[in-house]
Amino acid sequence: MAQLDKYSTQLLKIIKKKGGIIKAKTASILQFLDQDADADLRRECVLKSLIIYLGECLEDLIKEYTMSEKDQAEQELESTTMAVFVLRENSSLLQQPKEIGIIIDGVEVLNELSSVAAGVMMLFGLCFALNMEYPQGFRFTFEALQKILMELGSNKMSSKIRKLNGELHTAQ
């Protein structure tokens, strides 16, 4: 989390410079940062924006439901390969989650997590520690977490992550 906090300001500058679809998709997330967001909400917004910036589908990695959709969520999550799930009273990011957990192959492997950012980091940690392949649609997100934030194996990066890493270090 400290590494995410360290790069948050630079990541936000880079993400906010983007235009087009990325700007439109991240605008609804980044608006919550203007409302005196606490550290957990700030991390969540940065991670969600990073996923979008890298061109990956946010809804496939972080599955959000309201409490009234809990039955639907349970059915949907049974067929989920790998994701972080979040249950909130309503759909607002300002609403504290009631439940956060991790699903792998339809099985809830972790629950009662403290934040969405902690859920994403724990999922990354599980994949890395168990030497599992990163989820297909999140190659760039998990590569950025591994090689930029965690500084593990940073000598070999895809061109997209190398570009982001260069922008982060020139923005400092």
Per-residue pLDDT of the chain (172 residues; tens, 9 = 90+): 999 999 999 999 999 998 899 999 999 888 888 766 789 999 999 999 999 999 999 999 999 999 999 999 999 999 999 999 999 998 777 778 999 999 999 999 999 999 999 999 999 999 888 888 887 789 999 999 999 999 888 788 999 999 999 999 885 5
Give me the amino acid identity at 52.
I
Which residues, 6 or more positions from 165, have their beta carbon under 8 angstroms from its beta carbon? Answer: 147, 148, 154, 157
Q: How far apart are CA 125 and CA 131, in angstroms?
A: 10
Q: Is 101 helix (H, G, I), strand (E, B) or coil?
A: strand
Q: Which pLDDT does position 26 carry in this prediction?
A: 92
